[in-house]
Amino acid sequence: MHRQVLPVWGEPVMRVPNTPHGQRRFAAAVPTGHGIVLPAFHPALRAGRSLFPSRVFAPDEVQRLLKDGHQSRKIGKIITKGRRRGWPIYTLTLEERATCPRGCREWASCYGNNMQAAERIDQGDAMFPVLEAELERLAAEFPTGFLVRLHVLGDFWSVRYVEFWAYMLHRFKALYLFGFTAHDPGSPIGEAIGLLMGHVGWERAAFRYSGLSGKRHGSAVVLGPGEADPDAILCPAQTGATDCCATCALCWQSTRSIAFRRH
């Protein structure tokens, strides 16, 4: 298969127009399998950093850490189906690689290589009070519930950070989370995520382990059109069966493993 290997900026993804529903501000990026793959010697890989270090911001350099799902190419603004219909979605984006385990299978081909514009929040204790204040405001505004997608880019960067989210889930009953992690379930951070899910219930912290085999609680990357993972449902937003996460709801309503086509 042809893969684009670029040590430089670029955005080799196809765009499709936004939908009339107004769920997303930007057009979706259709996976082509031709996304940027960095060569092993690239400084971003060796240092474990984003390809776009100028797009990493301290928590006090940005207007807000939790972005409205409307600003994402694939998340969407308001859930339109299922038992969480009407809830808003927010997202948190961290620095890819800097917050991720080096064992991540997409270390060189991270989707972040194609996301020059994304605003990444620098990880560290400084984010805790800012996030807590934002969550407090959202919990007051949406007492029946709101959903946060961790992490559009990046991953859980420490056990302490996982514990921060456990405390937030305890403090704000309207808060629900979903996302994916490249941490091995048996690693210290992976175990902490498992404990978090066990403690608050998968309903409130719907995370999947990337690369976990089997029909439940896993996620996988398949290379492109025509390839499939027999254990996983292919993300419907990538097949055109739905518009975005807000109109899909699969990730937080079903424990089935989910597969994604590589960008």
Which residues here bind ligand SF4, judged by CB under 6 A?
Answer: 235-237, 242, 245, 248-251, 258
Contact 152, 91 (CB under 8 A): yes
| Residue 152: alpha-carbon gap to chain centroid | 3
Q: Most distant CA pair in the chain: distance in Å?
A: 50
| Two tokens, residue 251 | 């990730």
Which residue lies nearer to ligand SF4 by CB, 45 or 78? Answer: 78
In the bound state with ligand SF4, the residue whose beta carbon lies nearer, of 105 and 170, is: 105
CB of 220 to ligand SF4, least distance (A): 12
Report the nearest approach of ligand SF4 to the CB of residue 218 (Å).
13
Our CA angle for 130, 136, 141, nearest 5°, is 130
DSSP single-letter state for residue 111: G
What is the closest distance, in whole angstroms, from the C-beta atom of residue 247 to ligand SF4 in the complex?
8
* Dist. CA 30–CA 66, nearest whole Å: 24
> Least distance (Å) from ligand SF4 to the CB of residue 149?
9
Helices (H), 95-158: 127-141
Angle at 202 between CA 214 and CA 142, to 5 degrees: 140
- Nearest CB to ligand SF4, comparing residues 183 and 261: 261
Nearest CB to ligand SF4, comparing residues 59 and 111 = 111
Residue closer to ligand SF4 (CB basis): 94 or 248: 248
Q: Distances from the Cα of 252 to the Cαs of 7, 20, 144, 180, 217, in angstroms?
A: 36, 24, 16, 11, 11
Minimum Å gap between C-beta 251 and ligand SF4 is 3
